[in-house]
Amino acid sequence: MKRKVTKAIFPVAGLGTRFLPATKSIPKEIMTLVDRPLIQYAIDEARAAGIKDFIFVTSRGKSALEDYFDHAPDLEAALRKADKTDLLEILRDTNMDSGAIAYIRQHKALGLGHAVSCARKLIGDEPFAVILPDDVIAAEKPCLQQMIEAYQETGGAMVATMEVAPEQTASYGVLDVARWDGRIVSVKGMVEKPTLGTAPSNLAVIGRYILTPRVLQNANQIGKGTGGEFQLTDAIAHEITQGRDVFGYRFEGQRFDCGSKAGFLQATVAFALAREDLGDEFARYLAQMHGHGQAAQ
């Protein structure tokens, strides 16, 4: 029987420079889609998949991220006094129990592989998940839950994957496919950001992973790759060269790249339209904007 996946790493050390000036004072992960920060979507997905231990790889300037998960006694007391039980319930979802969350500093920006390996002492000898909060995935069954259910059948290492346009493959890690079995793809190789026209497929790696501790060892052993950084893709691909199984999982759901401004705006619109309390009013506004070609002055 496969060991349960109960730990997850959240690499959140990036500076978020594409969202300056907003990220001058707040971590990108605190930026909100409608009224929930990006990190809350990631935490909710992890909880739904059975994750119990949450490990954040942070950097200087991320104290607001840590504060977000702390209890707020004064605010809770004010809401309780005003009998705003619905808001109290929303607030409780942001609280993390003592000991459930840990923070590790990445002192130098040396790539995703390095960021994940910073948590190796907290992972020990257990399988673990990695969630990149920039990738927000709207799905009836949360993406990581889909993957963990598949992992119980396959073992090995597993990455979330989706088809992208051939001209976009240079922006992703890309899978070299051995065979397809429904949503599970057996992988014979992985290439990080292949040059245009050289990608082995159009199946891109998306920011959800289930990995073994060996991948953390690989990240430290194989050195720097594309962009002069320690690439997580390379560390996973090394498993294949050692004869160990790596799988891609073609998840059900819609992925939004909230690491880009356009993707963040698209996600905001999609999540706003899906809200019962906002959807109708917002849809009417968008229709009006489209009809009149209005824009902010």
Q: What is the mean pLDDT of residues 80-97?
A: 83
Q: pLDDT-based confidence at 157, cuts 50/70/90?
A: very high
Nearest in space to 20 (alpha carbons), one of 261, 266, 297: 261
* CATH superfamily of domain region 7-259: Spore Coat Polysaccharide Biosynthesis Protein SpsA; Chain A (3.90.550.10)
Q: What is the mean pLDDT of residues 213-228?
A: 73
Residue 81 has pLDDT above 80, yes or no: yes
Residue 272 has pLDDT above 90, yes or no: yes
Q: What integer pLDDT is reported at residue 260 of this predicted model?
A: 92
Q: What is the mean pLDDT of the chain?
A: 87
Rounded distance between C-alpha atoms, residue 189 and residue 89, angstroms: 46
Q: What DSSP string runs through 237-287? A: HHHHHTT--EEEEE-SSEEEETTSHHHHHHHHHHHHHT-TTTHHHHHHHHH
Q: Whose structure tokens read 């993390």?
A: 96
Q: What integer pLDDT is reported at residue 187 of this predicted model?
A: 94
Q: Do the Cβ atoms of 268 and 285 come closer than 8 Å?
A: no
Rounded distance between C-alpha atoms, residue 106 and residue 62, angstroms: 11
Tokens coding 19:
């969202």
Task: Tell me the one-letter amino acid at 184.
Answer: I
Residue 1 has pLDDT above 60, yes or no: no
Residue 58 has pLDDT above 90, yes or no: no
Q: What integer pLDDT is reported at residue 77 of this predicted model?
A: 87
Residue 262 has pLDDT above 90, yes or no: yes
Nearest in space to 12 (alpha carbons), one of 94, 98, 102, 106: 106
Task: State pLDDT tens for residues 14-49.
Answer: 877 888 888 888 888 999 999 899 999 999 999 999
Q: What DSSP string runs through 179-238? A: EEETTEEEEEEEEESPPTT--S-SEEEEEEEEE-HHHHHHHHHS---GGGS--HHHHHHH
What is the value of pTM for the model shown?
Answer: 0.89
Residue 225 has pLDDT above 80, yes or no: no
Task: State pLDDT tens for residues 128-155.
Answer: 999 999 999 999 999 999 999 999 999 8
Rounded distance between C-alpha atoms, residue 170 and residue 263, angstroms: 17
Q: Where are the domains of the chain?
A: 7-259
What is the distance, to the nearest Å, from the Cα of residue 194 to the centroid of all Cα atoms in its chain? 22
Q: Do the Cβ atoms of 54 and 102 come closer than 8 Å?
A: yes
Residue 96 has pLDDT above 60, yes or no: yes
Q: What integer pLDDT is reported at residue 117 of this predicted model?
A: 86
Rounded distance between C-alpha atoms, residue 141 and residue 38, angstroms: 18
As a whole number of Å, the end-to-end CA separation of the chain is: 61
- DSSP code, position 10: E
Task: State pLDDT tens for residues 173-215.
Answer: 899 898 988 899 999 998 888 888 888 999 999 999 999 988 8
